[in-house]
Every structure is written in C-alpha cells, then in structure tokens.
Amino acid sequence: MELDARSQQFPYASTQLTYHEVGQSSVHPTIILIHGTGGNTQKHFNYIFPMLGIHQRVLSIDLYTPEKADLKLTDFSEQVEALIQHAVAENEPITVVGYSLGAVIAAQVAAKLQQRISQLILLAGWVKTSSVQQLRNTIWQQLFNEQSKALPHFVNYCLYSDHYLSLRTEQQVLELARFVTPSADAARQREMNYHLDISNILADITADTLIVACHEDRMIPLAQAKLLFASIERSRYVEIHSGHALHIEAPAEIVQLINQFNQHPEQYPINQKIQRFAP
C-alpha cells in the first residue's frame, strides 16, 4: 500500500477507527472502500487502493469488530456512516465500493443514506446467506475451533478459482497457507454472516449500482449476484473470470471497472448486463 497513502484515526463510540486515504479530490466522486470478512485495507485492497488513488480521492476503512455476543450488520455499517460524516464534505459525491461482507455492508449504507450515495459497486456480494454458504461457514467454524492445520487449505480452496490454483504446483498451492491467519474477529463475523439477510432493504437503494460477480466463486454463488441485480432498481451486472479472491486474481480488471463506473456511470444502461473489461 504505497503511492503516498495516509493513515488516520477518528473517535467512534469507545474506540478509535482507522482509515486510509490516497489521492486528491477531483471532478469524480470520492470512493469509499469496505473490506470483507476477517480483512482490512492491507489484506483486501493492497493493490486496488493505491491504483484507484491516481484518478480520485479514495478512503478505505479498517472495520472494528465490537466485543458483543450478537453482532448485527449495523455494527459495521454505522462505522462507514461515521467515516462519511467525519471525512467527506456534505457536497462531495460518494461512490461506495464493498467486497464480500463489505458489499453487504455497502448495500446497507446505500439503503440508509440513499441520495447521499451517488454510486454503489458491489464486489462478490450476496443478499441472503444460502444453505450452501451456511455449510461452508459451519466447516470453517469447526476447523477454527479445533485449531486444525487444514483450515488455511480449506480457506484457499474456497478463495481461489480452479484456474488460479492449477497454474501452481502442489507445493506452491500448499504454501499459500502461510498467508491465511484466521482470527477470533473473523470467527465472530462469520457467525453474523450465517444469518445475514438484506433482501428487505434493497428496494431503498437509489444509487446507480454496479454488481460484479466472480464466475468461478466457490464462496458466493452467482445466483446471489443475480439476485442483487434483480433487486436493486438502478443496477448493472458484470461477470469476471475469477474466484472469490478477485483482489488477487484480477486486481487490474477491478481497478478498471471501478474507475470507469465511478467516472462515467452514464455509459452503462440501467438494468443491463455489461461487457467484461479485460485490461
């Protein structure tokens, strides 16, 4: 995370929230990035964040997981709302970009703030946790509770596409485990993920929206992205050839999609499937 990124904190409830900033205010909306389960800016936007800052102002929040038994989506979406209030001028247009759980949070923010959000980009998001996703979460939690050495390998199997893994030797695939560090916060977020359902708030989203689905995603079925597309009024839909870890498998393509939609959303007709951009 380079290119003159600046890290700052601001008070929120009884803690200090960290966010990162790159780029300068321009004619384009300010982008706010929201990472996924168990992530942060460094883990999920390491490549994407600085590259986006070349053309516009970009803020990326490191979400805080409250110490409470029953986490709600609003425990995270309200942090993003607080960042907007703290760091974005009232007349400054905003594009909110969320990845995975961050996409669900982004949808919640857009539904709550409505006209305050100009554009919304949902990367590998979902509407209501399916039985398939619940099964994966159950396996993850059991392996985590057992402190199993198999957990990092299971995570990588779910994260990456067959194409990405097939380009590596058996040993190289196994060595990917060293990059996986499951945490107690991630475990608690996954408990929340098990029951997530935002189907009742999607009709409240007024922002121009881009739904990005990963064609080889083992974590989030394509049907979830299509349900988002069907449920958000001013939405467009695009599929990319990637597993769930789009920030690793297709960072340049994601940067291009975000830049083009942030700067020229009018180029893409509402309620249409748009062509995939290949850099």
pLDDT tens digit string along 207-240?
999 999 999 999 999 999 999 999 999 999 999 9
Average pLDDT of the residues in 82-98: 97
Q: Where do the structural domains in the chain lie, given as residue ranges?
A: 6-127+197-267, 132-189
Its pTM stands at 0.95
Say yes or no to pLDDT of 277 above 70. Answer: no
**5 — pLDDT class (breaks 50, 70, 90):** confident
pLDDT confidence tier of residue 69, bands split at 50, 70 and 90: confident
H/E stretch holding 238: strand 235-240
Q: What is the pLDDT of residue 105?
A: 99
279 pLDDT above the threshold of 50 = no
When the pLDDT of each residue in the chain is averaged and rounded to a whole number, the result is 95
Residue burial 80-89, b: 16+ Cβ < 10 Å; e: rest = bebbbeebbe
The C-alpha atoms of residue 158 and residue 217 are separated, in whole angstroms, by: 8
Considering only the top CATH level, what class is 6-127+197-267? alpha beta
Q: How far apart are CA 7 and CA 42, in angstroms?
A: 11
Regarding beta strands 30-34 and 94-99, do their DSSP bridges make them parallel or antiparallel, or are they unpaired? parallel
Please enumerate in sequence order all residues whose Cβ is within 8 A of that of 73, keeping only pairs 6 or more positions apart, or say none.
104, 105, 108, 192, 196, 198
CA distances from 245 to 7, 107, 233, 250 (A): 24, 20, 27, 8
pLDDT higher than threshold 50 for residue 172: yes
Contact criterion met (CB below 8 Å) for 98 and 31: no
pLDDT, tens digit, 9 for 90 and up, residues 96-135: 999 999 999 999 999 999 999 999 999 999 999 999 999 9
For residues 203 and 13, give the distance between their C-alpha atoms in angstroms, rounded to a whole number. Answer: 30
HSE (side-chain half, CA atoms, 13 Å) at 246 = 31
Give the burial class of 70: count Cβ atoms within 10 A of its Cβ; 0-12 exposed, 13-18 middle, 19 or more buried: exposed
pLDDT at 276: 65
